[in-house]
Chain A
Amino acid sequence: MLDRQMISRVIAEALRRGGDFAEIYVEEKSLTGIVCEDNQIEKVNSGRESGAGVRVVSAGNTAYAYTNDLSEEGLLKTAGIVAHAAAGAARDIELDLKEVRSGLTLPFLKVPDQFPFEDKVEALLKANEAAREAGPDIKQVTVSLADVHKQFQVANSLGEIVEDEVVRTRFVINAVASRENVIQTGFEAVGGVVGWEILDEIKVEDLARQAARRAVMMLDAKPAPAGRMTVVMSSEAGGTMVHEACGHGLEADLVQKGLSVYSGKVGQQVAASEVSVIDDSSLPKKNGTFRFDDEGTPGRKNVLIEKGVLKGYMHDRLTAQKEGVEPTGNGRRESYQHKPIPRMTNTYIAPGESDPEAIIRETAHGILVKKMGGGQVNTTTGDFVFDVQEGYIIKNGEVLYPVRGATLTGNGPKVLRNIDMVGNDLGFAIGTCGKDGQGVPVADAQPTIRIKSMTVGGTGFEDGPEIKRIRRF
């Protein structure tokens, strides 16, 4: 990592022509990726990347530049570019950088270097075989793994410096099943801010079988109905709903620009009183876990919604300063190539009181979501959608048959008020969240919850109660 004296000189250069705040973020990482497809190890990748980004903030406006050239000359040149864009009185500063502490420890037991290539290849081949055990309907299996070992420094004109390392691992299985003219897929992923000891806790063969089972089962699924109905989301389904329905809308940059339905609602009831929403980067080993965010603020637990009442937003330094609050440790960036912005980390709806099975039993007619896919939200209107990977029809409290091709759409604040049962369980899923062209790893979770009524988008008009309505036209 870079010499601290040199870092001080780069920050001073960035502020030479003015500006309120300057920062340098330096990253050195080594990455590995291996893909097994068509029953063979098809692709390998192992790379090294290093770079630094420098920013200057003046009167709330940001100038950002980055380079792969980590020599003092290269960094001063980069600082000079941002200095050029800064406004205000010229400053000549000298910094004595002090290390910021975090109360969290992240033990990485088996870092990528300690998990040999041979063992990685073996794990991939095992998973591939296990998935193919599901039978002749399985036509293709893609298994991949990736790890990153990153060292980073972030230092700023307030005299703060953080130096830390992060290990991130991921194992993903995609199975494709087909019969006659129908093709369906199944997907499972595991990963987080954890070393390869993650594979001591989770058997990749089990994951692979699960992905394959879902692909095969979906071959026989009926088309999902379309229309409004009760939705039960199982805790296994992951937290895409909370991520889209309220997570993004609670990111302070969108709130401050007036682009969130949750703007100006702190202290107000925005969800049913059963609902509490938390973002917590300090949970161990999750996909959105860290000791420090990418601005050097220590990670922590933030209660966003408590018993239905909006408590606060997720901030980076810039939005926190604008609002006159403490940064919440949500300033994240994809890499040295991006400026930090407010982002989620590990976001979840807190578990409630109900027995998950009772929630299903007490549902007369609806859809049970057992696995969610991706989603998207328009934070301004609050409208969101997400994809159902594994869904079932519930009738009179019983889970009947699987359905495919369903998407759920709703409006964030409306859906949150419409949650009428919250289970006492909690299930996590991992994902990569995209915003402003930056992808960052996140985890999200929900207990089993019931939403009284939501729009299900499927193609099965013959199947639902809506058929009457269609005939009226």
Chain B
Amino acid sequence: MRDRLLDAGRWAVEQARGNGVEAEAFVLHSEDLTIEVREGQVDTLKQAEEIGLGIRVFQGNRLGFSFTTDLSREALGETIRRAVESARYTADDKNNGLPEVVDGYRRMVTYDEEIERTTLEAKVEMAKQIEVVSKQEDKRIKIVESSGYEESRYSVAVVNSRGVEAFQKASYCGLYISLMAEENGEVQTGFAVEAKRHISELDPARVGREGARNAVRILGAKSAPSRPLPCILEPYVMTSFLGVLAGSFSADSVQKGKSTFKGKLGQAIASPQVTLVDDGTYEKGISSFPFDGEGWPSQRTVLVEAGTLKGFMYDAYTARKDNTVSTGNGMRSSFRGLPSVGTTNLFLTPGLSPPEKLWEDLERGMYITEVMGMHTANPISGDFSLGASGIIIEKGKLTYPVRGVTIAGNLFDFLKDIEGLGSDLRFFGGTGSPSVRVKRLSIGGE
């Protein structure tokens, strides 16, 4: 695969140069497997193979881009022609251009050979086991919507006309379950998910148990009165907040006036307990990779240290604009688009205390286990108002569950209001967080 991708990339870059442009080819090949189980049977088995090439060209300072899923010479030629043609219409921007050649890349293990070696039957077994364990865990688990196994194995090549030639193979795999608990005619849903680099790290029983517990603990939920309360956010809930916050740390947002952090480097923007890091080299992170979508080396970038804004994430373009160097955040989710500033492994560094210590001194509060509508939070203004479920805290103890309430606030106030972090750092995809305590959120209910 290495030769196939690099050859296609080299050929495309060479052809493009013949048109008098600087060029970069991003070539991706991936093979995915999804096994979805329901009631002990494989409901859906999906196997996918995908290949494609995206070509970015610079005609002077003008940018052009095109992509194709057909790597024949004829199709590549046509793709290059379209990319060059499109560069006629874009802005003449002096910050446009390819990244420089780098010395080399960090050696990283991003591929697990065991995934390929493990039989389909063994993977199906894992998916089935999650379902079985969840039902054993609690007899109130009445319906398992689906449980499953997923894997992705992919190869990436980046070649550019300045001499960059990068190639790497990577893989990840994961398990999930989504289910329903029922008691006295009331139903509640729950789910659990884990994604790992190595198949040996997957634990179907753990996923099954967690899914069951997540559903059962909300049974008997009622609404709650409207009022502000101190809140504890589970790691999963906090990672979805981080997903929205991430954009504000992108140099692109900052440069375009879309980040509230513009001009605030060195200032306190969060509580002193908050340290936020983006680390493309983090060993356990499933988003770790030696280079980014532009062939620039990955690195660890501290965004917030002890509450102080320390830096932003850059790709080659935004770095040039700020007269600095890329932080290896020129991300590409596929060959179908241009690189843009994005996160690798983004996480809040954990605190020292076990999560249950976070609420033991609270007279009253809410332990938030699920939020709905996070995609409606406004990443620019930071305003959010979400549907939520959770458990009411009284006198330092988790008491009764609530659902159908809203929580509202502003993300940037939220960062300043963080009062405590648990030791339970956990990753969901490329984003990680421990449990977090925040001084107050507005609860909307009865």
Contact = CB atoms under 8 A, between A and B. Distances in A.
B is a partner of A: yes
Interface of A: 34, 37-38, 40-51, 60-69, 78, 81-82, 85, 117-118, 121, 139-140, 176, 178, 181-185, 224, 226-228, 257-259, 337, 339, 373-378, 380-381, 383-387, 404-407, 409-411, 455-459, 461, 466, 469-470, 473
B82 interface: yes
Contact of B42 (A61, A68, A380, A456): A61
User: Chain B interface residue count: which class?
Assistant: 35 or more
A45 B373 contact: no
Interface stretch (B221-229, B276-284, B343-351): B221-229
29 contacts: A37-B256, A40-B93, A41-B90, A42-B63, A44-B64, A45-B86, A46-B66, A47-B68, A47-B79, A48-B78, A50-B69, A51-B50, A65-B46, A121-B89, A183-B258, A258-B143, A258-B180, A381-B188, A385-B387, A387-B376, A405-B384, A405-B410, A407-B387, A407-B444, A455-B404, A455-B445, A457-B405, A461-B226, A473-B227
Contacts of B78: 48
A61 B91 contact: no
Interface string B193-209: 00000000000000000
Contacts of A67: 48-50
A70 B47 CA distance: 16
Contacts of A40: 90-91, 93
B226 A226 contact: yes
Contact of B373 (A60, A82, A387): A387
Contact of B189 (A121, A381, A406, A461): A381
B257 interface: yes
Contact of B44 (A62, A81, A226): A62
B145 to A, nearest CB: 6
Interface in B138-192: 143, 145, 180, 187-189
A429 to B, nearest CB: 14
A383 B407 contact: no
A185 B69 contact: no
B380 to A, nearest CB: 5
Given A121-B89, A226-B226, A380-B189, A337 B442 contact: no
A384 B387 contact: yes
Nearest to B385: A407
B405 A455 contact: yes
A339 B46 CA distance: 9
A227 B226 contact: yes
B267 interface: no
B336 interface: yes
B27 to A, nearest CB: 13
B51 interface: yes
B205 to A, nearest CB: 24
Given A48-B68, A50-B69, A459-B409, A381 B258 contact: no
A51 B90 CA distance: 30
Contacts of A38: 255-256
Nearest to A380: B189
B89 A65 contact: no
Interface string B24-53: 000000000000001001111111111110
A140 B253 CA distance: 10
Interface string B94-125: 00000000000000000000000000000000
A461 B445 CA distance: 12
A131 to B, nearest CB: 14
A64 B143 contact: no
Interface of B: 38, 41-52, 54, 63-70, 75, 78-79, 82-83, 85-91, 93, 143, 145, 180, 187-189, 223, 225-228, 255-258, 260, 336-338, 372-373, 375-376, 378, 380-387, 403-410, 442-446
Given A45-B338, A456-B444, A65 B227 contact: no
Nearest to B403: A383
Nearest to A470: B227
Nearest to B383: A405
A98 B228 CA distance: 64
Given A118-B89, A339-B44, A457-B386, 15 more contacts: A37-B256, A44-B87, A46-B66, A49-B67, A78-B49, A121-B89, A178-B257, A257-B145, A376-B373, A377-B372, A378-B189, A385-B376, A457-B387, A457-B444, A469-B227
A385 B444 contact: no
A49 B93 contact: no
Contacts of A44: 63-65, 86-87, 89-90
A34 B66 CA distance: 12
B180 A185 contact: no
Report whether over half of chain B's contact residues are helix, strand or loop; otherwise say mixed.
strand
A117 B62 CA distance: 15
B385 A42 contact: no
B372 A376 contact: yes
Nearest to A404: B383
A407 B86 contact: no
B215 to A, nearest CB: 10
Given A44-B90, A45-B66, A64 B44 contact: yes
Contact of A380 (B187, B376, B380): B187
A459 B258 contact: no
A459 B383 CA distance: 10
Contact of B407 (A176, A182, A457): A457
Nearest to A70: B70
Contact of A185 (B88, B381, B406, B410): B381
A254 B370 CA distance: 21
Contacts of B44: 61-64, 339
Contacts of A64: 44-47
Residue of A48, A62, A118, A374 with most partner-chain B CB within 10 A: A48
Given A68-B49, A226-B226, A259-B145, A411 B69 contact: no
Residue of A185, A224, A380 with most partner-chain B CB within 10 A: A380
Contacts of B79: 47-48
Contacts of A45: 65-67, 86, 336-338
A105 B378 CA distance: 40
Nearest to B187: A380
A61 B146 CA distance: 13
9 closest Cβ contacts across the A-B interface? A457-B406, A387-B376, A407-B385, A40-B91, A385-B387, A226-B444, A457-B444, A47-B67, A139-B257
A37 B228 CA distance: 39
A407 B374 CA distance: 11
A55 to B, nearest CB: 9
Contacts of A466: 226
Contacts of A78: 49
Contact of A117 (B89, B258, B372, B382): B89
A365 to B, nearest CB: 15
B69 A381 contact: no
Contacts of A374: 373, 375-376
B376 A375 contact: yes
Contacts of B54: 47
A388 B54 CA distance: 38
Nearest to B90: A41
A117 B382 CA distance: 36
B386 A183 contact: no
Nearest to B91: A40
A140 B373 CA distance: 25
A94 to B, nearest CB: 26
A259 B378 CA distance: 30
B256 A50 contact: no
Nearest to A226: B444
A407 B373 contact: yes
Contacts of A473: 225, 227
Contacts of A458: 385, 408, 442, 444
Residue of B47, B67, B256, B373 with most partner-chain A CB within 10 A: B373
B321 to A, nearest CB: 10
